[in-house]
Chain A
Amino acid sequence: MDYVLTVNAISKSYKRFQALKNLSMHVPKGAVYGFVGKNGSGKTTLIRLICGLQTPTSGSYALYGTENTEKSIQTVRKRIGAVVETPSIYLHMTAEENLKEQYRILGLPSFDGIDEILKLAGLDNTGKKKAKHFSLGMRQRLGIAIALCGNPDFLILDEPANGLDPQGIVEIRELILKLNKERQITFLISSHILDELSRLATHYGFIDNGHIVKEISAADLDRTCRKCLCLEVSDIRAFALAADQMGLEYHILSDTQAEIFSKITITKLILPLSEKGCEVLSIHEREESLESYYMSLIGGKTHE
């Protein structure tokens, strides 16, 4: 698999406080990578390191295969855009002036494409309004618009939904999905708003206390978290036989426990089992959300 970003056992200390501890992670090309963790877990610290705003105490990372210790990392950085914590915008300038300034910083030969970016970010009608008069959502979108200058293929967004109203959150989400689908931009999005992230992410990295607890694809996570019936039976072989005959999708957990993922009524399930001499000792429905999965992860339960 092609990785846009690979982090190898990175650590970052501030005097006596260790913000990151041997953290490793992998962001696949084309993914929307949800970087999940509570406040103070080290999300922003890692983003600052990747963006070159700070240097790691130990360990390394590679952007498009180029290690951070190589001189050419400066060139590779031109392929990324980022919004770290708050949108980096000149408050006394208009949206267009901000983009022009970024074009100059990037050394782009002309201002072609600014109108398109403004339209994409939904800021094409802001005219001469200064950024200091923008709403939080507009500032956030302007931050993303600036990050989009120079056609980057990797965007890093730190808490993009922070402080936004529901409409603002929807606008940002739609913008991210659009960019990911239409321009194949890879995203690394840090957030602790799990519900919002679950609507976007194709991959997840769960960080707690400065290190990655688990990396998982959204497909695998769906499989782990999907709705199922959990059964405790007296004879697991008889259960498997009956389930196969009924064409059910199931997963055996132990000699007495199994999960059924297919939709089936309890009556239709219990009768064939009873005929095969298998008693159902207990039965309950389970559906794990991203939130409960995350809570169980940082609470110590493993999900292998």
Chain B
Amino acid sequence: MNKLLSANFSRLKKDISFRIGILYMFAIGIIVPLSNFITMKKYGYTISLESGFCLYAFFMAILSSVFCSLFIGTEYNDGTMRNKLIAGHSRTAVYFSFLIVSIAAIFLMCLAYLISSLCTGIPLLGFFSDAAFPIVLGHIGTIFILAVAFTSICTAAAMLCQNKAATATVCILGVFIFLFFGAYIRARLEEPEYDQAYYFETEETSEAESAPPTPNPWYVSGTKRQVYEFLHDFLPGNQAMQLCTLSADNLWKMSFYSILIAAVVTGTGIYVFYRENIN
């Protein structure tokens, strides 16, 4: 597999989607603290470095879908996947080599964000507050593990679909569905159990009357709530939504779910790829 890794990393260095991904994340890393700094100056209140710092979880998810579908899709589009198999490499080795290179590429994109964000943010906004620092560190680690899960899913889709355009469509749409679903579940879980009580005056009596709090029909309760809470920690899109707002509570649980997703998806991907007819 070392030979395949050497070949794939060498290709990665020249890959245009990888270079654009690095530049994009680097630029986002500058824009986020800079816009916070401008807002801070404009309205005169303090914004700390941790505010918006983990937004890259969201961009990482989108970039992993774009990168995997283009990088691996090229192998099918140009027919070069055949060269690897004809050269006598096992399908498992071919699969793993793409997975490892894709994970490395996404990690490097995330690092590009972190470096540019810290380099821009620390001089403008100062360092993280003492209370926030360990939370930010935990979130950064979990985002890297989440990147493994996202990349595993996108790698599996790209390895099993031999049409580059179809792969790109499936991966990008899939990630957006994950993210929208994440936003939806989060919104439902944040719904209050009761609508707030309110007070009003009647014209006739001019006395203040109050209406009792009414149950919120959008509130999710019982088993359904438990399922929603599980999905909120389990699904990669939901994890990304929690991590990018620094609001995740169950970091260990989420990391475990990410590793589980990556392992199951990769195992299934290799099993199907092993039986795939390559054209």
Which residues 12-29 in B have Cβ within 8 Å of A in the complex?
14, 16
Q: How far is the CA of A52 from the CA of B91 in the complex (A)?
A: 10
User: Is B7 part of the contact surface with A, judged by Cβ < 8 Å?
Assistant: yes
Which residues on the B side are within 8 Å of A52 (C-beta)? Answer: 85-86, 88
- The interface stretch among B72-80, B199-207, B257-265 is B72-80
Residue ID in chain A nearest B276 by CB atoms: A54
Least Cβ distance of A63 to chain B in Å? 10
Least Cβ distance of A168 to chain B in Å? 19
Least Cβ distance of B141 to chain A in Å? 33
Q: How far is the CA of A54 from the CA of B10 in the complex (A)?
A: 27
Question: Across the A-B interface, how many residue pairs have beta carbons closer than 8 Å?
Answer: 83
User: Is B41 part of the contact surface with A, judged by Cβ < 8 Å?
Assistant: no
Residue ID in chain B nearest A107 by CB atoms: B3
Residue ID in chain B nearest A102 by CB atoms: B83
Contacting pair A81 B79 (CB below 8 A): no
Find the residue from A48, A52, A54, A80 having the highest chain B CB count within 10 A.
Answer: A52
Which residues on the B side are within 8 Å of A54 (C-beta)? Answer: 277-278
User: Is A23 part of the contact surface with B, judged by Cβ < 8 Å?
Assistant: no
User: Is B87 part of the contact surface with A, judged by Cβ < 8 Å?
Assistant: yes
Q: How far is the CA of A138 from the CA of B91 in the complex (A)?
A: 30
Render B1-15 as a binary contact track against A, CB cut-off 8 A, 1 for contact. Answer: 011101100110010
Render B265-279 as a binary contact track against A, CB cut-off 8 A, 1 for contact. Answer: 000000000010111
Which residues on the B side are within 8 Å of A51 (C-beta)? Answer: 82, 85-86
Contacting pair B90 A104 (CB below 8 A): no
Which residues on the A side are within 8 Å of B278 (C-beta)? Answer: 48, 53-54
Contacting pair A105 B87 (CB below 8 A): yes
Residue ID in chain B nearest A104 by CB atoms: B7
User: Is B89 part of the contact surface with A, judged by Cβ < 8 Å?
Assistant: yes
Which one, B2, B79, B90, B275, contacts A88 given CB within 8 A? B79
Contacting pair B10 A53 (CB below 8 A): no
A74 with B10, Cβ < 8 A, contacts A53-B278, A88-B83, A105-B84 known: no
Residue ID in chain B nearest A75 by CB atoms: B88
Render A121-150 as a binary contact track against B, CB cut-off 8 A, 1 for contact. Answer: 000000000000000000000000010001
Render A46-63 as a binary contact track against B, CB cut-off 8 A, 1 for contact. Answer: 001001111100000000
Render A146-169 as a binary contact track against B, CB cut-off 8 A, 1 for contact. Answer: 100010000000000000000000
Contacting pair A91 B78 (CB below 8 A): yes
Contacting pair A77 B80 (CB below 8 A): no
Which residues on the B side are within 8 Å of A92 (C-beta)? Answer: 14, 16
A90 with B80, Cβ < 8 A, contacts A74-B89, A78-B87, A105-B3 known: yes
The 7 closest A-B pairs by CB, nearest first: A107-B3, A77-B88, A104-B7, A88-B79, A53-B278, A74-B88, A54-B277
New A-B pairs, 9, CB < 8 Å, besides A105-B84, A107-B3: A51-B86, A52-B85, A54-B277, A54-B278, A74-B88, A75-B88, A84-B82, A87-B79, A90-B74
B residues sitting closer than 8 Å to A (CB atoms) are 2-4, 6-7, 10-11, 14, 16, 74, 78-90, 275, 277-279
A-B contacts, 22 of them at CB < 8 A, read A48-B279, A51-B82, A51-B85, A52-B88, A54-B278, A75-B88, A82-B82, A85-B79, A88-B81, A88-B83, A89-B79, A90-B78, A101-B7, A101-B10, A102-B83, A104-B3, A104-B7, A105-B3, A106-B3, A106-B87, A107-B2, A107-B6
